[in-house]
Structure 1
Amino acid sequence: MLDIQKIRNDFPIFYQKVNGKPLVYFDNAATSQKPTQVIEAEANYYKEINANIHRGVHTLSQLATDAYEASRLKIQQHINAKFSHEVLFISGTTHGINLVANGFASFLKLDDEVMVSALEHHSNIVPWQMLCEKTGAKLVVIPMNENGELIQSEYERLLSDKTKIVTVNHISNALGTINPIKWMIEKAHKVGAAVLIDGAQATPHLKPDVQDLDCDFYVFSGHKICGPTGTGILYGKEDWLNKLPPYQGGGEMIATVSFEKTTYAELPHKFEAGTPNIAGGIVLGTAIDYLNEIGFDNIAAYENELLEYGTNRLLEIEGLKIYGTSNQKTSVISFNIDGIHPYDVGTIIDKLGIAVRTGHHCAQPIMDFYKIPGTLRASFAFYNTKEEIDALVQAVKKAKMMLL
């Protein structure tokens, strides 16, 4: 059992009011709030260490380097990567996907296939479209059904020896659907395809075991797991990271430089050009420590309780429809009310202190599938409460009454 009030006390943002009302924050799929432990750790870095890493013999540089690499080891253990050099610090999920897509330009040829799913965030569509335009490869899309699930039989049918990489999210940001990625990875490997998993929406709710999944790449953002913005992790199997060319050139990623030839550094530095977000990388480890102290099993159980409660309460509202009804789902509820634009509802409930996301959630193909302009999305985290869900329901009822 979680002590929710004790947890909420860790988050300074919940002490404030929005539009004169207590803040109810249900936009966790966009970004999570930050506990005091994370906020203070970042401030302490700048107050006590603040030096560049890997390059200095002076004490502060060594302290910064040690803290940064300790965070890498922490993240390696968290995701169960085989080697610490398979863990790359990046600026976020989008950066990681672009890094891999850019590298695959070296491997693809005309009529090769890149497979994405109909459930993807734009960040896991656009880089692959750009790759296909550059190489002449074909973008193949795994279709979805009305429940917001990928059609598994179609996935199997579409796989072939032309498939060079399958890239799919672990959990849909727009619908909350949990995809059967371990099964999908196994099927892709049977035809010789690599697999990248977008874990941006999964890592707040579960601990991915990359060795058990056997994925080739797994990418996620720090700001969705109580860490700072501008941070993230790309895990890649050692063999793949050795094959991929560097994404950026500059300092840190080199072994030797001359005007005749440059040789590249060993992993992970080959992909970490320039001065990184040092404080962010260190504090990402702090955020992971915080979540592990609460316990991901505890988080999952409580968030599932919130999902069930929120679903039942919202469905009490006449004319309300939920999009994304898979049995395998995390704590995201996307919904609309008949005859009302989601933006209008979102604007009214914001005046009541309630933060939800409105729009297409960077997943326009999903909205096109349902023939809607967008949805209201309430996404719950372990620091939310059933009382806050009750406040959401009352606010939506009030908005409906005002708008119809």
Structure 2
Amino acid sequence: MSKARAAADPAADEGLTPRRNPDLTGQDEAERLLLEAWNSGRLPHAWLIGGAPGIGKATLAYRFARFVLAQDADGDGLFGGSAPATSLHLSANHPAFRRVASGGHADLLTVERQRDDKRNRLKRDIAVDDVRKIGPFLHRTSAEGGWRVAVIDGADRMNVSGLNAILKILEEPPNKALLLLVSDNPGGMLPTIRSRCRKLALKALSEDTVVKLLMEHRPDIPADDRPALARLSEGSVGHAIGLADAGGLELYRAMIGLLSGLPRLDIAAAHAFGDTLTRKTDDGVYETATELLVWWLARFARALARGAWPAEVVPGEAALMTRMANARSLERWVEVWEKVQRLFARAESANLDRKQVVLNALAALEAAAS
């Protein structure tokens, strides 16, 4: 996974850290459904919050967790009344907000992947021992006389043992206990878990929303780059920030500039591009660029199937797609996309020479476009 993609889930900017973020933009429908369930007095004990990385899933989970924890012991409204709640918003000055933000709320347990200090990155899976803490936590008496809430951020990263531990909790849920599972890939989880959770699918953010969030939280990103990053990230502000930090837009511009020479590539430029991607092995540039190439080929194939080009991320894409479409059929370009995808995957597993892999992928495109 590239650094640009990895940055999408926790977001790179402190203001966007889910447990500290008082605001949620672009997910009004999801918030409405949670409020509706709360106000009904029959709140489901487990929710599976799914959607692409970086669109607000974890932010929504912590927003709802704070709201629930702010209720009094009888589960009445935020201020002790019986009027239906109209918002999940909690002021950053509220005691529940401050304790959740600091990780010090006695009735909230967060389970997520831990950092591997030796490799300076998040571990691949959530530790099963951490998952097993959830059952005893939810069954114990609330420290404040109200709800106990557990948030699993990255629930699709649990192994089989962890999933089975969660299934036991779902089969016999405790009273006034809430389990929030945040997942980039809810379809990949056990069907028995999915069937026992209320599913809440979040939609990708609009391009205008991503641009607005970038302006608010990352004013250092040039204004002219924000619309391109919003389009490139496909509605994920987390991914947009990750791409900006990884130099993804510059890589994308260079890639499109190189491919614009098709059906004949500039060999010297191709070698220079390969050198740029492989100068270091730990800066994430190679991973970001190869993900962008695979993404662009898939985007082109989808557009070719629809018969209409998407809005350009950078100038020159539409003309490039037109030339490629005139050169070969959709079936042929799908084959090329699959070949390039397999090539990059094999290179990673077999530790092949990265520059040669990039050159081979470019050669496959040139051969198809000729």
TM-score by length of 1: 0.29
Which structure is larger by alpha-carbon Rg, 1 or 2?
2
TM-score by length of 2: 0.31
Higher strand share: 1
